[in-house]
Amino acid sequence: MSPMTGQVIIGLSTVVVAIRDHEAVVLTVRPDDLRTHRASAAPGLPSGPFDPDHDRTFELALRAFVTAQAGIELGYAEQIYTFGDKGRDAPLADLGGSAPGAGRIVSVGYLALTPGTADLPEATGAGALWSPWTRFFPWEDWREGRPEVIDSVIVPDLERWAAAADPVTAEARRSRIRGLFALDGARWNEERVLERYELLYEAGLAAEAARDRSRALGTDAPEPEGFHPALGQPMISDHRRILATGLGRLRGKLKYRPVIFELMGQTFTLSSLQRTVEAVSGVALHKQNFRRMVERTDLVEGLAVFDAETGGRPAELFRFRRELLLTRPATGLALPMLREG
């Protein structure tokens, strides 16, 4: 029972981001809990097959199965990328496909944001739970300064990988490493999440790389279980790549579209807004300049209501002027950095 030539199965995978306790978290599912009931360390993103006979659009399909898999209603959603490379595509089992070994799977990745920082259920549907993205990309969190794992583990390993190649390739690899991991005076660019993950994958440092290699050789390797904490928690299939794409896209989009407000509740303080931007961008921001910048954009409106729950002086509550989306959807928030290096 081979598939018709030219046909593929489309898998939809969604990066669902929310804020919990001032930390950015993503929705993950344990595929094994859902199907084989075997324990496994590698989680996945909520995902499911696209059914061309019943689903009118990708977005409708994905809203439906995220609700089914995790009991979450999505707010904002946007497409991020379509992955079709052979060898890195999702194994059929991950999607519960009914045609084992039959066709090729193409993943359409989506980014979704859910508002309301307060009462996020810890574990929602069967096996669904919120995980801080820092678990998957520890090197991406620069809020407390340059993460120590970069210089203690990542760069030495990458350097060994670079040195193993012929001189010309080695120099090109070193140049990528320098630029992506802010070496030798290069500045950290928080948007390049995917490129950094791809570099680690290429260098064989991402646990998924070893799995994909052995799979290509015919040995049906299980999803990786152990992993070096500095190199992040691996995920099934190509889900960590999709997550990296989503996080990078969100970090970039923050700056030119008012998407950050899709993660906030109806009202918020400027400090909580700043902590949200910091949690997503992974950089520390300059408090005073952040406030001034936000007020200059006119995207928010003070409510002259104060929240005394914050510990110190009560903070004024603001709301997002959502009505501006119709006329000025093309403004975002700059990142007035703290600590320039």
Partner DNA sequence: TCAAAAGTGTTATCCTTACACCCATGT
Partner DNA sequence: ACATGGGTGTAAGGATAACACTTTTGA
Per CB under 8 A, 66 contacts a copy of itself: no
- Token pair, residue 187, equals 């500045």
Pick from DNA, a copy of itself, none: which does 319 bind, CB < 5 to 8 A by kind?
A: none
Minimum CB separation of residue 340 from DNA in Å reads: 4
The distance of closest approach from Cβ of residue 283 to DNA in the complex, given in angstroms and rounded to an integer, is 11
In the bound state with DNA, the residue whose beta carbon lies nearer, of 89 and 190, is 190
The whole-angstrom separation of Cα 152 and Cα 238 is 27
Dig out the tokens for 97 from the structure. 């496909």
Q: Which of 97, 115, 132, 336 touches a copy of itself (CB under 8 A)? A: 97
Residue type (1 letter), 170 = A
Query: Which amino acid is it at 185?
Result: G
What torsion, rounded to 10 degrees, do the Cα atoms 91, 94, 96, 97 define? -20
Report the distance separating Cα 54 and Cα 56, nearest Å: 6
Residue from 17, 29, 43, 50 touching a copy of itself (CB under 8 A): that is: 50
Is the Cα dihedral 117, 119, 123, 125 positive or negative? negative
The one of DNA, a copy of itself, none whose footprint includes residue 192, by CB under 5 to 8 A per kind, is a copy of itself
Q: Report if residue 6 touches a copy of itself, rule: CB under 8 A.
A: yes
Question: Does residue 329 bind a copy of itself (CB under 8 A)?
Answer: yes
Beta carbon nearer to DNA, 40 or 289: 289
Residue type for 42, please? Answer: A
Residue 110 or 290: which CB sits closer to DNA?
Answer: 290
Question: What is the Cα Rg of the chain in Å?
Answer: 21
Across-strand partners of 113?
17, 76
List the beta strands (DSSP E) in 32-124: 47-49, 76-83, 105-113
Q: How far is the CB of 130 from a copy of itself (least distance, A)?
A: 27
To which H or E segment does residue 315 belong? Answer: strand 315-320
Decide which of a copy of itself, DNA, none touches 81; Cβ closer than 5 to 8 Å per partner kind: a copy of itself
DSSP letter for 31, please: H
Q: Which two tokens stand for residue 293?
A: 């910048």
Q: Does 186 bind a copy of itself (CB under 8 A)?
A: yes
Inter-residue contact 124 to 74 (CB < 8 Å)? no
- For a copy of itself, the binding residues (CB under 8 A) are 3-10, 49-53, 56-58, 79, 81-82, 84-87, 97-99, 102-104, 106, 108, 172, 175-176, 178-179, 186, 189, 191-192, 326-330
- For DNA, the binding residues (CB under 7 A) are 269-271, 286-289, 291-293, 296, 306, 308, 310-316, 334, 336-338, 340
